[in-house]
Amino acid sequence: MVAALGFRLGQMVLVMFGISVVAFLIFFATPGADPSARIAGRNASQETLIQVRHDFGLDRPLPVQYGLMMNRLFVSRDLTSFVNRGQRVIPTVISAIPVTLSLVSGAAVLWVLGGLIVGVIAGATRGTFVDRALMILSLVGVSIPVFWLGEVANLLTQSRWHDSWLFSWVPPLGYIPLTENPWGWFKALVIPWFTLATLYVGLYGRVLRASLIEMMQEDFIRTARAKGIGERRVLLHHGLRTSLVAFVTMFGLDFGALVGGGALLTEVVFGLQGVGKLTYEALQTLDLPMILATVIYAAFFVVMANFVVDVVFVIIDPRARNVG
C-alpha cells in the first residue's frame, strides 16, 4: 500500500515536470513568441531588446532558461507579470485559489447530491413517467450554457427581483472571504454554486442512471433479491454501490479541471476573482509568466484529482486493491 502510494507520488512529480517543460516551451520557445519583445513594450529599439534579453536571461541556452524560470516561479517566487509591472505572479495565483476552491467545492457538493438523487430515482423508476421527466430535465440542464444561466440568475437576483422578499438577501457580485464573514461567503456563493452545478447534476444523473440500470441486470442482484432483503436495500447496497465507479472517475476529472481554471465562465459572470478569471485575463494580454503559472497550477490540480480518484477507487472497489 505504501509502496503503491510512493509509486503514484513519483508518477505525479514526473507528470508535473513534463507539463512544466511543455508549457515553458510553448510560451517561451515558440517562434514568434519572443518574450523580450513583450517585456520591452511596443516600438522598443534593438538595443533595448538586447538589454532586456540579457537582463531576463533570455539569451542563455533553453535548459538554463527553463531552470531560471522554475527557480523564479517556485524557489524565489519573484517572477513578475510582464503586463502589470511589479505584480508578482505566485502571490496573485495563491490569492485566487480560495475563490475558485470555494466556488467549485460548493458546486461539487450540490452536483454530487443532485446527481445521486436524480440517477437513483430515475434508475429505480426506469421507463416510468418519473424517469422520463427527470431525464428530460437533466438534458435541459446539460444543454443550458452556464454563462446564460448565470446572466439570467444575475438579472433576477441583482435587479429585477432584488427588491422583492425572495432575493433581497443576495449581496452584490463578488467574493467575500470565508474567514472574514462566513455567512456573507455563503450568501455570495449560493447562486454561483447552483449555476455551476446545473450542468453537472444533469450529466451525473444520466451517467449514474445508465450505470445503475446496467448493474441491476447482474447476477448478484438476483442473489441479493433471493435473500429477501427488500428492494431498497438491493438497490442502494448492491446496485448503487457497484455503480459508483463511473461516477467517481468523472467526478475526479471534472473537479480537477474546474479547480484548475475550468470554472472560468462562472467566475467571469459572477465577478469572482478566481484562477479561471486570472487565466482568462492573462491570455488576453499574453502575460507569459502569469499563463505559465496558471497552466502549471491547473495541471497540478488535475493530477492531484486523479491521484485522489485512485485512492477512492481502492476504498470503493476491493478488486482494485491488489493491482499495482
Partner 1 sequence: MSADAPLLVVKDLTVSFRSDEGLVRAVGGVSFAVEQREIVGVVGESGSGKSQTLLAIMGLIDSPNAIVSGSIRFMGQELIGLKRRALDAIRGRQIAMIFQDPMSALTPVHTVGNQIGEQVRAHEKVSAKAARARAVQLLDAVGIANPDRVVDGYPHQLSGGMRQRAVIAMALSCNPVLLVADEPTTALDVTVQAQILELIGRLRDQFGSAVILVTHDLGVVAEVADRVLVMYGGRFVEEGGKSSVFRAPLHPYTWGLFGSIPPMEGPRPARLAAIPGIPPSLSNLPKGCAFGPRCAFRHDACLVQLPIMRGESHRAACLLPEATRRQFAVQRPGGVEMQR
Interacting residues toward partner 1 by CB under 8 A:
127, 218-220, 222-231, 233, 237-238, 241-242, 316-319
The DSSP string of 235-254 is IIIIIIHHHHHHHHHHHHHH
Give the Å distances, CA to CA, from 230 to 87, 121, 237: 63, 16, 11
- Residue placing its CB nearer to partner 1 in the complex, 172 or 228: 228
- Residue placing its CB nearer to partner 1 in the complex, 151 or 310: 310
261 dihedral zone (left: phi>0; alpha: psi -120 to 50; beta)? left
CB of 284 to partner 1, least distance (A): 48
Q: Contact 243/150 with Cβ under 8 angstroms? A: no
**Interior/surface letters 185-206, b for 16+ CB within 10 angstroms, e for the rest:** beebbbbbbbbbbbbbbbbbbb
Give the Å distances, CA to CA, from 236 to 5, 231, 248: 30, 9, 16
CB of 97 to partner 1, least distance (A): 35
- Residue placing its CB nearer to partner 1 in the complex, 126 or 160: 126
Mapped onto helix, strand or coil, the DSSP state of residue 318 is helix
- Name the amino acid, one letter, at 220: F
Give φ, ψ of 222 to 5 degrees.
Answer: -65, -40
Give the closest residue to 253 by CA, choosing from 290, 291, 207, 212. 207
CB of 245 to partner 1, least distance (A): 9
- Residue placing its CB nearer to partner 1 in the complex, 208 or 296: 208
CB of 236 to partner 1, least distance (A): 12
- How many C-beta atoms lie closer than 10 Å to residue 2's C-beta? 6
CB of 212 to partner 1, least distance (A): 14
- Residue placing its CB nearer to partner 1 in the complex, 129 or 165: 129
CB of 322 to partner 1, least distance (A): 8
- Residue placing its CB nearer to partner 1 in the complex, 229 or 283: 229
